Amino acid sequence: MKRILWKISAAMATLGVVAAALVTLNLRGEAELPAAETLVLSPALAARGEYLARVGNCMACHTTQGGAPFAGGRGIETPFGVVHSSNLTPDSAHGIGAWSSAEFWRAMHHGRSKDGRLLYPAFPYPNYTQVTREDSDAIYAYLKTIPPAAEPNRPHALRFPYSTQAALGVWRALFFAPGATGPDMAQTAEWNRGAYLVNGLGHCTACHTPRNALGATKDAKAFTGGLIPVQNWYAPALNAASEAGVSQWPTDDVVALLKTGVAPQGSVMGPMAEVVFRSTQYLSDADARAMAVYLQALPPHEPAAAAAARPPGPALERGAKVYEQHCAQCHGEQGGGKPGAFPALKGNRAAALGDPTNVVRVVLQGGYLPATAGNPRPHGMPPFQHILGDDEIAAVATFIRNSWGNRASAVGTIEVHRARERRGL
C-alpha cells in the first residue's frame, strides 16, 4: 500500500513539475502589464495602423462574408477542428473596446488574450511576434477608430484534446518562443525591411512552409512550399525556381506581381489572388520593393525532381479531346495562351508542379486574377465543376501537365474526388 501511495505521490510531483515548467515556458519574455494606458491616439497613428493592418491582411480572417468589418466569426478550418476569428472592433462587450494597447501587444507578441487565455496559432502570432511594439500600437489605434460591432465571439469547434488550454500550452512550449529576430547587420536596410514584412506582418511562411503533424511550421524548411489545409491549395516554394522562386526575375516584375497580381512571367490565382486583392496591392512602392528584394535573396532550395512516367496514351488522348473542346479557344491549340489575357500553359511551372492540387482546383472552381489598381479588369477562367466529371478533369489535367514540353505526374480521379469533397464541390 505504501508503495502504491509512493508511486502516486511521485507521479503527482512529476505532473506538478511539468505543469510548472509549462507555465514558465508560456510566460517567458512577458513583462507585467502597466496599470494605466500610456498610448496617445492620433489620426496620424491610426492612418499608419490602417496601412499596417492591410499589410497583415487582418480583415480577411476577421470579417465574414457580408459581415461588419473586423467583427470576427469567420470559421478557419484546421486539421484539428474549426477556429473562429475574434471581434476586433472597439465594441466594449465583444471586441477590443476594453483592451489596452499593452494587452493588444501581448496578444500580438505573446499569443495571449486579455483574460490570460492562450490563443490558437490560427491567429499567426508565431509570425506577429516579430512585429514591433510601435507597429502594434499603430494597428491598435486604427482598430479603435472603426465602427464597433456588437457581434459575440463564436466558440471554437476543436476536437479533444486540442480544445484544451493544457494541450495548447504543450504545443507552445514545444514550438513557440516570442521575440523578434532583429536586423541582420550584414544586409542592407532594404533587405531588412523586406525580411520584417515577409516574416512578420506578411506571415508568408504560414502558408509557404510545410507543417508537422501538430500543425507547427517546419522552420528549417521555411519557404519550401506547403499544403494549405484551410483552402486545399498548395502554396509553392518561394525559394525554388521550378515552383514560385523569383530570384532570376527583374525586381520590377516581382513588385508588379505583388501590386497588380500579374507579371510577364506569371500571375496569381487562388488564395494568393485574395492576398494581392486585400493586402499587397496597397503596399507602398518602397515596401513592395523591399519584399521583392528579400524574396529574391532567399537561399535556393530546389526540390528533388521525381521521375514522372509518361502517362498512358488513352489518358492523354482523352485529355486532348477535353482540352480541344473546353480550353483551346483561350489557351491556344499549342498551349501558348494570349498575352495580356489568357496565360500560356506551355512551360507554365504552376501547371507542372509536383503536387497537382492547384491545377485541379483551377479546373474545378475557375481561375480569377485579383482586380487591382494596376490591373482593374482582369480576365478570368470559368469553373468546370458542373460540366466535367472527375475522370475528364483528371484527363485534361494530365494532358496539360504532359504536353508542349511539360512533364509531370499523371492526375488520378481520386485526386479530383478529394478536391471536390474537401470543398463541397
Predicted pLDDT at 282:
97
**What's the rounded Cα separation, in Å, for the pair 420 and 395?**
16
pLDDT digits (tens, 9 = 90+) for 348-378: 999 999 999 999 999 999 999 999 999 999 9
> Can you tell me the mean pLDDT for 173-197?
94
Q: Is the dihedral of CA 249, 253, 255, 260 positive or negative?
A: negative
All residues at 6 or more sequence positions from 350 whose CB lies less than 8 Å from its CB, including other chains: 236, 244, 266, 358, 359
- The torsion defined by the Cα of 17, 19, 20 and 26, in degrees rounded to 10, comes to 140
Q: Which residues contact 134 (CB under 8 A, 6 or more apart)?
A: none
Q: By C-alpha distance, which of 308, 305, 395, 317 is closest to 359? A: 395
Averaged over 119-139, what is the pLDDT?
A: 97
| Closest among 231, 67, 79 to 153, alpha carbons compared | 67
Q: Rounding to the nearest 10 degrees, give the CA dihedral for residues 197, 199, 203, 208.
A: 130
Q: What average pLDDT does this structure show over 43-64?
A: 97
Domain 189-296 has CATH 1.10.760: yes
Residue 288 is predicted with a pLDDT of 98
Helix axes 165-175, 2-26, angle to 10 degrees: 60
The bridge status of strand 262-263 relative to strand 266-267 is antiparallel
Residues 245 and 257: their CA atoms lie apart, in Å, by 12
Using one digit for the tens of pLDDT, what is the confidence trace for 199-234?
999 999 999 999 999 999 999 999 999 988 767 889
CATH T-level topology, domain 313-423: Cytochrome Bc1 Complex; Chain D, domain 2 (1.10.760)
Alpha carbon distance 425, 115 (integer Å): 40
d(CA 295, CA 289): 10
Mean residue pLDDT across the chain: 90
Q: What is the pTM of this model?
A: 0.89
